[in-house]
Amino acid sequence: MPITELDGEIQRRRTFAIISHPDAGKTTLTEKLLLYGGAIHLAGSVKSRKTQRHAVSDWMEIEKQRGISVTSSVLQFDYDGFRINILDTPGHQDFSEDTYRTLMAVDSAVMIIDVAKGVEAQTKKLFQVCKQRHIPIFTFVNKLDRFGKNPFDLMEEIEQVLGIRAYPMNWPIGVEGNYTGVYNRKLAQIELFQEDGSHGQNILPSTKGGVDDPAFREILGEEVHQSLCDDIELLDAAGDAFDQELIDKGELTPMFFGSAMTNFGVQNFLEEYLRLAPPPAVHASTVGDIEPNDERFTAFVFKIQANMNPAHRDRLAFIRICSGKFERGMSVYHDKSDKMIKLAQPQQFLAQDRTIIEEAFPGDIVGLFDPGVFGIGDTLCNTDAKLRFPDFPVFPPEQFARVQAKDTMKRKQFLKGITQLTQEGAVQLFQQPDIGTESYIVGTCGTLQFEVLEYRLKNEYGVDIIMQHLPYEVARWIEKDGEKLTPYSLRGADRAMFVLDSKERPVLLISNEWAIRWIMENNPDVTFSIVPPDRSNAME
């Protein structure tokens, strides 16, 4: 069978997200990958970033202020014939649905670990999502230019804490955490660090050579050289064998040591990643598996964001293409509204630079202007496909607050803002019956979302809010056969709050799991669910 244009485009695509604990080096590594891909010419180095230059991938004001990534950005660039899509995941402490959704749109993930800190809490949470999806995970152990943990201990940690075997692709050279280079296991070569004092703004060559080269024995010193040889012997004898099948299933992680800041090991990592990582995957749908080279166009919405750039006041829906070819101006079937939609101004991104795209292929992410019709998880497809991808799981909210506009004259803007942010999936909205639109109850999965809500309402809608945190930790959607439930329908629920969700379904906000059990015992004829009744898939 001749290789079609579609096949060729699919084979060269790699779509992934970088997951890490804050400060492990995600922004720096992303920048360096862009630098190697020629997408930027000078990486925003540690120094210049502190002054005026911000990393290409964090574009929102709040991110600049707080130095964290709050929203996911999408970056596309080419390297050696490959087309790479990097989806940036928020790296803050609070795990948000946004992060989860981003991971639904990738074919593999890169996990960054700080060599001195090992596996940290946030990495663990994000990693669990990747593991559930059985996508390949590549590990980059960063900051090798600094004092770090013993590499065997790090391998052990990955295996113990994350439950995945690790295959080191290279190995740090040095003793007691003082590393001067790496040994490339595939090429059986030593590569030594080089620094030019530019903090990695430039691409640097490295010094390479065979492990038996006497020159290296001399440069490294007898002790370091011998310890390297011993480590390699031990790895070869006792470590896991390289197994592409296990990597594809996400059961073995290729592990790389390097330093994003000094560029050390970045190019080698990129090249090996591109060689080992999979092209766009098959997606399960209501009519069976959809191969990416299926000629019919299919995609799903994984993220919606309003006011991404103050210069463009608009709402964008980000879609991940699963199969077929996307062409500007094409009309597609939107399952939720049961309507045809013309995709007139598709956009691709390099941070604030938007470009209108003419075509895109499976694995690509495209931003579409959203007149308010798209929802997270919606399917878009050709009329001859008419299928649906599974709904995204719902995250039960865990924190609640009452919010209202400080200035009652701003009620209209407040309502608009809070409705839009709810549609984006940033927060979940509830209302107490008979209280009107003066105040709302919002539910989130973490504290940071409240801050983001406050910040965005102020900056994008000009509304200052009053926020009062509520002492509830769990929400339960409640149903009873043939009865319209009211705040007075339940026994023993005096301390819970009765609210309605955005579709007017009754929900109970409760202080803790113990209280839920009590209420459930007192109301055996009521059904309690952790997600809305029309959604069966919840993330615990």
Residues that bind ligand G4P (CB under 6 A): 20, 22-28, 46, 49-50, 91, 142-143, 145-146, 259-262
- Of 87 and 381, the one with the shorter C-beta distance to ligand G4P is 87
Give the shortest CB-260-to-ligand G4P separation in angstroms: 4
- Of 18 and 457, the one with the shorter C-beta distance to ligand G4P is 18
Give the shortest CB-92-to-ligand G4P separation in angstroms: 9
Inter-CA distances, 15 with 75, 321, 412, Å: 10, 11, 40
- Of 174 and 292, the one with the shorter C-beta distance to ligand G4P is 174
Give the shortest CB-55-to-ligand G4P separation in angstroms: 7
Give the shortest CB-395-to-ligand G4P separation in angstroms: 23
Dist CA 188 CA 205 (whole Å): 18
Give the shortest CB-359-to-ligand G4P separation in angstroms: 32
Q: Which two tokens stand for residue 168?
A: 């080191």
- Of 261 and 510, the one with the shorter C-beta distance to ligand G4P is 261
- Of 49 and 388, the one with the shorter C-beta distance to ligand G4P is 49
Give the shortest CB-143-to-ligand G4P separation in angstroms: 4
- CB within 8 A of 47, min separation 6: which ones? 199
Residue environment code for 125-152, b if the CB has 16+ CB neighbours within 10 A, otherwise e: bbbebbbebebbbbbbbbbbbeebbebe
Give the shortest CB-24-to-ligand G4P separation in angstroms: 5
Helix (H) or strand (E) holding 356: strand 353-356
> Contact, 289 vs 283, CB < 8 A?
yes
Q: Is the four-CA dihedral 456, 462, 464, 470 of positive or negative sign?
A: negative
* Rama region for 313: left / alpha / beta (φ>0; ψ in -120 to 50; rest): beta
- Of 260 and 418, the one with the shorter C-beta distance to ligand G4P is 260
Give the shortest CB-13-to-ligand G4P separation in angstroms: 24
Give the shortest CB-278-to-ligand G4P separation in angstroms: 24
Give the shortest CB-515-to-ligand G4P separation in angstroms: 37
Give the shortest CB-95-to-ligand G4P separation in angstroms: 15
- Of 265 and 417, the one with the shorter C-beta distance to ligand G4P is 265
The amino acid at residue 124 is K
| Nearest of 362, 234, 344, 236 to residue 293 by alpha carbon | 362
| Nearest of 277, 253, 247 to residue 166 by alpha carbon | 253
Q: Which two tokens stand for residue 399?
A: 């924190």
Phi, psi of 234 (to 5 degrees): -65, -45
- Of 55 and 457, the one with the shorter C-beta distance to ligand G4P is 55
Residue environment code for 352-361, b if the CB has 16+ CB neighbours within 10 A, otherwise e: eebeebeebb
Helix (H) or strand (E) holding 452: helix 447-461
- Of 49 and 165, the one with the shorter C-beta distance to ligand G4P is 49
The amino acid at residue 9 is E
- Of 264 and 440, the one with the shorter C-beta distance to ligand G4P is 264
- CB within 8 A of 472, min separation 6: which ones? 400, 496, 497, 509, 510, 511
- Of 169 and 457, the one with the shorter C-beta distance to ligand G4P is 169
> Contact, 155 vs 168, CB < 8 A?
yes
Dist CA 438 CA 415 (whole Å): 9
Give the shortest CB-139-to-ligand G4P separation in angstroms: 14
Q: Mind spelling out the 3-state secondary structure of 460-515?
A: HHCCCEEEEEECCCEEEEEECCCCCCCCCCCCCCCCCEEEEECCCCEEEEECCHHH
- Of 25 and 280, the one with the shorter C-beta distance to ligand G4P is 25
The residue length of the chain stands at: 540
